[in-house]
Structure 1
């Protein structure tokens, strides 16, 4: 990614495309063993378009589910049902291809099992009355892909947006990264423990721009009373983490992007502090939190280490668009287009792949 951006130094770059491709590639290599980069589908779309289509469908049907008796009729008349079917069929075809490749007896296997190997082994072994099938395998892989890809890329886009909106913060974190890393080709994982301010920046970005506006709905198991309201069994409970993270009762100046608020602060995003729940909490918390944070830290550190970033001509920090859009996933409404200026240190040309 860094090398491809370097080729467009001093030119406007669409960071949405770069970051989406990076995160999709990482998640697919983890989940399916390969990136499937460049794969085209019957609709003519690519993986990035397929992912965004799936997220959009999830958001649309979360609204329609409020009207269960007429929701399907509405979906049929609006064409939403056809879009859902097409999107699911293409996702299913991709996952089926991966499972078939792993099931091939002639496939060359590595020293260690990966995720698909383990799932296929569970299917063969079967435990007790649970019948584990390839449908379950594809469902797990789909959850990993949809849950892991979009969240990380959305946070990266918002964090870079906040940096150009707040030059003081960007300068401070760049100074930290370049001081701690020194004159190297790129930031690697061994450098991350030293980058304390960068970690605070990511926390602040997760607070102000959680990848989802609400957590996955919970279902009430028994009748209870909360603040005078009767909550009955089977009722859905929606937790608005976007509003919680901007609550002035818990956060001073919540609309301000201020990473320094996390200096000597006990609040963290790991699910124990209910003022700050970008990944949820408890048994329904996001299981890929550690992986997602690692991807965000490494990608962000390299972007800030390798380049100075400027706004395109005619755009200032005052008129820079920070409008949100989406239902399930709150993304930046307009594409993040910035001008990278390659940092002055000269490195020996090497392959970054």
Structure 2
């Protein structure tokens, strides 16, 4: 679950009488029983229908305000963005994110501002993302080659195949093509995700340290961090060795960007190796999961809607016109595919509950007091399916985005899959470029159908529990080559 994100003791809100309404709370556990075995973003949406778009929730010792409407999301993310610009801390975030020195969870302040500037101008700028185009093309070549070896009619696990492409793009972009530790790195990041997404009793009773000790929470986290340390230390050692031999002078990956910033010391404070490791936890975790989840959901919705499938494939094939040399510039003309991606992100935001904010300065939301250190969470999925803003809100209709300026850039609070304001996800361009490129080429070169005997109604749309809301039962489809191809030209 998402609970590790909101960990700070807040004794039942008794000292803050002007809290929003919320569901009745049981002694000791508060509202924990209402989340047992359920998806929090759906439970909170259902509770909001009864208690209102701003609710107070108590999860044992964890007090949180849940926002479920675009109107109130705007108050949090724009009106009071500065007052609510910080992040809560936790045992898990302190250990796995190197004392919260990553991008996502570092507290608001000078260090965060400098990290944000580095991301925007150097690490994840549009220019830098474009420079990785050849890597994306190389990975799609590998994907096509693997499909060419399949027996006719053999289905593939879409999530597994797409994840392999996306993961390799992120790793090569981060550490270069000669990173020997790629497999171990992805394995440990997956373990990070499972550790952070699972429910742990110690997480909701943070003031009782003995609970963490009894359950071995801290020791487990430290073991994971130690393993990650060893892998990153090897990668850093390899790079520093090549740099000393002047073999890394032409490398332009993200690690080289950070090492140059470290060498120059031009941002007002020293960047340590631990800071670099923390940043890569963010890049690897967010960069791999969000893109592959979005592509799988897009393919799922497309296969469930044959009219959409025909329309998007017709657009792509007319635009590419039988060519085998496709570059990312060719994606600019695919207006309907962009609508499909938007609608996928609306119904299936990769992170349906945005990472929590923590109040720095007391403010009011809808007349209720938000006190210092209070946690505030926005249900982005509830905002994106609010019937006051969306007609037939839970149906997949890409055309709803035609002739409208509504976008996911953080200005339309009914559609905020990547957040908004100061803490909006800085890696949107990096992730979306893989989604657009891989989805377009999958639909261009191949026709897709369900394995024999399955009907559209057999597709299970259940989501996974956890921070990232992926598809629980992975989509399996049969690819059939529709356009003859040779390996894509990687000359950008």
SS of 1:318 mapped into structure 2:
helix
Structure 2 unaligned spans of 5+: 1-142
Residue 59 of structure 1: aligned partner: 197
State the shift of 1:128 in Å: 7.6
What TM-score do the two structures reach when normalised by structure 1? 0.89
Answering whether residue 398 of structure 2 is matched by residue 259 of structure 1, we say yes
State the shift of 1:327 in Å: 2.0
Instruction: Give the count of matched residue pairs.
Output: 345
Residue 103 of structure 1: aligned partner: 240
1:285-304 paired onto structure 2 within 5 Å:
285-304=424-443
Structure 1 residues 162 and 63: CA distance shift in structure 2, 3 A: farther
State the shift of 1:81 in Å: 4.8
Task: Give per-residue Cα distances to partners, 1:285-305, cap 9 Å, x unaligned.
Answer: 111111211110000001101
2:196 and 2:325 map into 1 onto residues whose CA distance is 37
State the shift of 1:33 in Å: 1.6
2:373 and 2:475 map into 1 onto residues whose CA distance is 41
Residue 214 of structure 1: aligned partner: 353
What TM-score do the two structures reach when normalised by structure 2? 0.65
1:233-248 paired onto structure 2 within 5 Å:
233-248=372-387
Contact in 2 for aligned 1:186/1:302 (Cα 8 Å): no
Structure 1 residues 254 and 13: CA distance shift in structure 2, 3 A: same
Residue 17 of structure 1: aligned partner: 160
Contact in 2 for aligned 1:16/1:336 (Cα 8 Å): yes
SS of 1:250 mapped into structure 2:
coil
1:39 and 1:112 map into 2 onto residues whose CA distance is 17
Answering whether residue 237 of structure 2 is matched by residue 94 of structure 1, we say no
1:133-282 paired onto structure 2 within 5 Å:
133-185=272-324, 187-282=326-421
Q: More displaced, 102-111 or 217-226?
A: 102-111
1:35 and 1:108 map into 2 onto residues whose CA distance is 12
Contact in 2 for aligned 1:204/1:258 (Cα 8 Å): yes
State the shift of 1:21 in Å: 0.8
Structure 1 residues 82 and 333: CA distance shift in structure 2, 3 A: farther
1:63 and 1:37 map into 2 onto residues whose CA distance is 37
1:23 and 1:73 map into 2 onto residues whose CA distance is 40
Structure 1 residues 133 and 19: CA distance shift in structure 2, 3 A: same
Task: Give per-residue Cα distances to partners, 1:82-133, cap 9 Å, x unaligned.
Answer: 5534433333323222211221112512446442223223323335862321
Residue 321 of structure 1: aligned partner: 460
Contact in 1 for aligned 2:446/2:479 (Cα 8 Å): yes
Contact in 1 for aligned 2:179/2:235 (Cα 8 Å): no
Task: Give per-residue Cα distances to partners, 1:119-153, cap 9 Å, x unaligned.
Answer: 22332333586232111111112211112111111
Contact in 2 for aligned 1:101/1:107 (Cα 8 Å): no
Contact in 1 for aligned 2:410/2:416 (Cα 8 Å): yes
Contact in 2 for aligned 1:159/1:205 (Cα 8 Å): yes
Report the RMSD for the aligned CA atoms in angstroms.
2.4
Contact in 2 for aligned 1:208/1:257 (Cα 8 Å): yes
Match of 1:69 among 183, 207, 210: 207
2:338 and 2:299 map into 1 onto residues whose CA distance is 14
Q: More displaced, 106-115 or 221-230?
A: 106-115
Task: Give per-residue Cα distances to partners, 1:246-298, cap 9 Å, x unaligned.
Answer: 11111111110100000011110011111111111122111111121111000
Answering whether residue 139 of structure 2 is matched by residue 2 of structure 1, we say no
Task: Give per-residue Cα distances to partners, 1:143-166, cap 9 Å, x unaligned.
Answer: 111121111111011111111111
Q: More displaced, 210-219 or 113-122?
A: 113-122
Contact in 1 for aligned 2:205/2:211 (Cα 8 Å): no
Contact in 2 for aligned 1:163/1:169 (Cα 8 Å): yes
Runs of 4+ in structure 1 deviating by more than 6 angstroms, as ranges, are none
Task: Give per-residue Cα distances to partners, 1:185-213, cap 9 Å, x unaligned.
Answer: 26421210110000100000011100102
Contact in 2 for aligned 1:187/1:298 (Cα 8 Å): no
Contact in 2 for aligned 1:50/1:87 (Cα 8 Å): yes
SS of 2:457 mapped into structure 1:
coil
